[in-house]
Structure 1
Amino acid sequence: MSDTELNESTSAPNKAASGRKSIANRLYTGDISLNIVGLRKRWYVMSGIIIAIALAALVFRGLALGIEFSGGADFQAPTRVTTQTVDEMRAAVQGSGLPDLGDTTVTTMGDNTVRIQTRTLDPQTEVPVMREVIAEQVGVDPDQVAYSLIGASWGKQITQQGLIALGVFLVLVMLLIWVYFRDLKMSIAAIVALLHDLVLTIGIYALIGFTFTPATLIGMLTILGYSLYDTVVVFDKVRENVRGLHDQRRSTYAALANKAVNQVLIRSINTTIIGVLPVAALLVAGWLYLGTGPLKDLGLVLFVGMIAGAYSSVLIATPLLVDMKMREPEIREHTEAVERGTSGVATRRSGRREPVEVPTDPVEDSVVEPADDDASDDLETEPAAPRITTSTAQQWPTIPADRQQPRRQTRSERKK
């Protein structure tokens, strides 16, 4: 077997093995690469449009707050819970003749209690009517229907405390990332990604018209942790890739950050899909079958927040980090040096040569002459000295000017 046949036979399994590589492996090794960081302006525009829609929904439609935040009336009655309990109770409450009961929430607690939450009712005129309607529907005495009033001031206090807790959480997260990565820009990029997820999720709630309840708040804190985890994973890979950045001139900071995003992209997608599938089932069950209740609110906020968290950690946090890093003088100088080196390699590969300046020589086109005219006849016949030109002068060794040169001796002097 010839060498050529041997090489072809041994390279065939390697080609077949490379062709069987998964997309995740090819992204990790750099065989293929998505230009995510290079197209960062496109992601900024896309996110800006989505955030603008979310803010417009908050401004023009408003956020429907539950009675725990806005205040209202809460009724609980004992009954045997069936699949028709919620629908029948809601129809009975809305047919009571009292105004503005369209946002009434009916849920079940276990298998023996039904809960009705309405707007704030007048204790003298409207509460007795509501008790009568609920008692008649479940078949009990009106005194067995428990009633409690949630004041608007208490709801406002809860809202204020929740906002303070959220602010403290963001500050602590920012400090933690700063200490862990020793890079303030990474912590800023992570916080911007978290705020992006918050605004987007709340805007979807306002756009669809779901009620913001304590279950929604719990789910929102959950997605903040999920989004933060995904962002930290990407940043940890970025830090690993850019270690020793200034010791090489092959890749820029943006290129290494883009490589890190590609290396964790499949992992982020798989993690998001695995997490979203059960959440989607929870949302469908709470929305289509139960109608109202904490399952629907929790399912929606988790579904929207997990997708937004995966999106922001890959397409917002890392590109924003690269933009902030490119403002540093050292990173900018390193990028320019790498680009200059890359353009030089491209020029050599294209076959073009840069003009080379040839130094001039004072002995250009000169010939070595005899020492004196009188002794020229007595000189032995010797081969003629070579003609020294510019092209050949560079090949002769340079003789220092202070070194004494040997003088040619005539035949008469040598006889003496």
Structure 2
Amino acid sequence: MFVRGREVKFNLIGSRPFSPPDLYWFAFSGALIVLSLVVLFTMGINLGIEFKGGYLLKVQLERPADVEEVRGILAAYSDQGLDETIVQTGESDSGPVLNLRMPYIEDSQARKDTIDAVTGEIDARYGIEEVLQEEQVGSEWGREVSTKALIALGVFLVVILIYITLRLEFKMAVTAIIALIHDTLITVGIYSLTGRQVTPVTVIAFLTILGYSLYDTIVVFDRVEENTNLMSRAGKISYADIVNESVNQTLMRSIGTTLTTLLPIITILIFGGDTLKDFAFALFLGVFMGAYSSIFIASPLLAIWKEREPRYAAVREKMEARGAKEAILITSPKAVAVTAGAGKAKEAALPEEKDADAVETAVEERKEKAKPAAKPASKPAAPQAQRKKTTTRGPSGGKKKKKKKKR
């Protein structure tokens, strides 16, 4: 990449499989994946009422409600799970608004009595002018939504796999999907570690994460494909070096797009409401992990896989043999002279390996040079006057006189 007109290159892809710096990237990602799996199996995911069922109540109040006071009212019904209720306050054109997202109560009579008691206490403290929204979502509906979401995710992965295979190649498609799973798993694990609730807004954030992760990966892979067509024909550069060059060429672009995307997300994360903060937090994790995986996970995995192909394995062997030969010549100066002398002797002893026409021409030139210069036959010396006469006079009896031009 270029920084203020100067080219800067980093060694981001290891020259050998699972060698530094690839080893560092894989170790860091492996630690995050293990942490995410432990959190998911021990703590689980805090699903919202849209997925596990619940009760939504939105009311307009006479006086603004205090969130902590409302949570205190709901804590008295912890036996029904209302201590996990999401409390949100806001303003509308008509006055203050209170939103309650309560867990689903299976017993219909207990559900009715509990909700009536909660609304009665809220009305007594803040005054309920109007019930704006009241929805009840059963647990069966939530499970159905979750199943359809998983099916949609599977179809999405298959379609992406087919598209990248047709556009680039199969190995790039597989490594892009691996990076995508890597991003999603770590993001879900860290999100679950914070105890935040998963809502439809959070699902939208996760879908956006998938798009950003694939975008960064395809940008890098497209440059790898382009450089492969340009550089690999000579057979003097390994596939890992091509990938490293491609990553360096797109590094500044990846950093720029990632930073410009994260800045507004950080703003929402700091100044937004509770629902927007959950959305921004998931989006922040996903965008960051998408940029990271496209450079440090997908690209090294592609290089390791492609280096196993016979074509690039042969290039790697040639490069290693050439490097070993150069190392020997540098460490042994005498070997340089011996090798050079042997090369000259071989060229003199085997002229037939050269072009036939060039050899024949060289032989003829040597023969011509080897012949002694032939001396002209001696003739009797002619008189000086006669010699002068024969040499100075032409057929017209002398030199021609220049005619004067008439003016």
TM-score (norm 1): 0.73
Per the TM alignment, residue 42 of structure 1 is displaced from its structure 2 partner at its CA by 2.1
Kindly indicate whether the alpha-carbon contact (under 8 Å) linking 2:180 and 2:210 is maintained by their aligned counterparts in 1. Answer: yes
Q: Which runs of 5+ in 2 are unaligned?
A: 16-20, 353-407
Per the TM alignment, residue 269 of structure 1 is displaced from its structure 2 partner at its CA by 1.6
Per the TM alignment, residue 209 of structure 1 is displaced from its structure 2 partner at its CA by 0.7
Q: Within the alignment, does 1:319 sit opposite 2:296 as a pair?
A: no
Aligned length: 335
Q: Within the alignment, does 1:37 sit opposite 2:14 as a pair?
A: yes
Distance across 1 between alignment mates of 2:195 and 2:349? 85
Kindly indicate whether the alpha-carbon contact (under 8 Å) linking 2:56 and 2:99 is maintained by their aligned counterparts in 1. Answer: yes
Distance across 1 between alignment mates of 2:237 and 2:63? 66
Counterpart in 1 of 2:217?
231
Per the TM alignment, residue 346 of structure 1 is displaced from its structure 2 partner at its CA by 4.0
Secondary structure of 1:336 counterpart: helix
Kindly indicate whether the alpha-carbon contact (under 8 Å) linking 2:13 and 2:240 is maintained by their aligned counterparts in 1. Answer: no
Per the TM alignment, residue 144 of structure 1 is displaced from its structure 2 partner at its CA by 4.2
Counterpart in 1 of 2:73?
92
**Aligned partner of 2:98: which letter?**
V
Distance across 2 between alignment mates of 1:90 and 1:234? 49
Identity over aligned pairs, percent: 34
Per the TM alignment, residue 262 of structure 1 is displaced from its structure 2 partner at its CA by 1.3
Counterpart in 2 of 1:264?
250
Kindly indicate whether the alpha-carbon contact (under 8 Å) linking 2:52 and 2:142 is maintained by their aligned counterparts in 1. Answer: yes
Distance verdict in 2 for CA 1:166–1:395, change over 3 Å: closer
Q: Within the alignment, does 1:160 sit opposite 2:166 as a pair?
A: no
CA-to-aligned-CA distance 1:279-319 (integer Å, 9 cap, x gap): 11211223xxx4x3x20210110111111001100000000
CA-to-aligned-CA distance 1:178-224 (integer Å, 9 cap, x gap): 1111x100000100000001001100111111111111100011111
Q: Runs (4+) of structure 1 moved beyond 6 Å?
A: none
Distance across 2 between alignment mates of 1:237 and 1:357? 42
Kindly indicate whether the alpha-carbon contact (under 8 Å) linking 2:13 and 2:241 is maintained by their aligned counterparts in 1. Answer: no
Per the TM alignment, residue 358 of structure 1 is displaced from its structure 2 partner at its CA by 9.5
Distance across 1 between alignment mates of 2:351 and 2:219? 63
Q: Within the alignment, does 1:186 sit opposite 2:142 as a pair?
A: no
TM-score (norm 2): 0.74
Distance verdict in 2 for CA 1:135–1:318, change over 3 Å: same
Counterpart in 1 of 2:99?
115
Aligned-pair Cα RMSD in Å = 3.0
Distance across 1 between alignment mates of 2:321 and 2:81? 70
CA-to-aligned-CA distance 1:52-71 (integer Å, 9 cap, x gap): 00010000111100111111
Q: Within the alignment, does 1:285 sit opposite 2:285 as a pair?
A: no
Distance verdict in 2 for CA 1:314–1:24, change over 3 Å: farther
Q: Which runs of 5+ in 1 are unaligned?
A: 1-20, 360-389, 398-416
Secondary structure of 1:36 counterpart: coil
**Aligned partner of 2:319: which letter?**
V
Secondary structure of 2:100 counterpart: strand
Per the TM alignment, residue 328 of structure 1 is displaced from its structure 2 partner at its CA by 1.2
Kindly indicate whether the alpha-carbon contact (under 8 Å) linking 1:61 and 1:206 is maintained by their aligned counterparts in 2. Answer: yes
CA-to-aligned-CA distance 1:298-350 (integer Å, 9 cap, x gap): 01101111110011000000000011111211111122122223333444445
**Aligned partner of 2:10: which letter?**
S
Counterpart in 2 of 1:67?
49
Counterpart in 2 of 1:306?
287
Q: Considering fraction of residues, name the structure with more helix.
A: 2
Per the TM alignment, residue 98 of structure 1 is displaced from its structure 2 partner at its CA by 5.9
Greater mean alpha carbon deviation, residues 164-173 or residues 73-82:
73-82
Per the TM alignment, residue 177 of structure 1 is displaced from its structure 2 partner at its CA by 0.9
Counterpart in 2 of 1:46?
28
Distance across 2 between alignment mates of 1:278 and 1:343? 52
**Aligned partner of 2:42: which letter?**
F
Distance across 2 between alignment mates of 1:50 and 1:395? 64
Kindly indicate whether the alpha-carbon contact (under 8 Å) linking 2:84 and 2:102 is maintained by their aligned counterparts in 1. Answer: yes
Counterpart in 2 of 1:353?
336
Counterpart in 1 of 2:185?
199
Distance across 2 between alignment mates of 1:245 and 1:80? 72
Distance across 1 between alignment mates of 2:233 and 2:133? 73
Kindly indicate whether the alpha-carbon contact (under 8 Å) linking 1:58 and 1:203 is maintained by their aligned counterparts in 2. Answer: yes
Distance verdict in 2 for CA 1:94–1:347, change over 3 Å: same
Per the TM alignment, residue 252 of structure 1 is displaced from its structure 2 partner at its CA by 0.8
Greater mean alpha carbon deviation, residues 87-96 or residues 205-214:
87-96
**Aligned partner of 1:259: which letter?**
E
**Aligned partner of 1:153: which letter?**
E
Kindly indicate whether the alpha-carbon contact (under 8 Å) linking 1:237 and 1:260 is maintained by their aligned counterparts in 2. Answer: yes
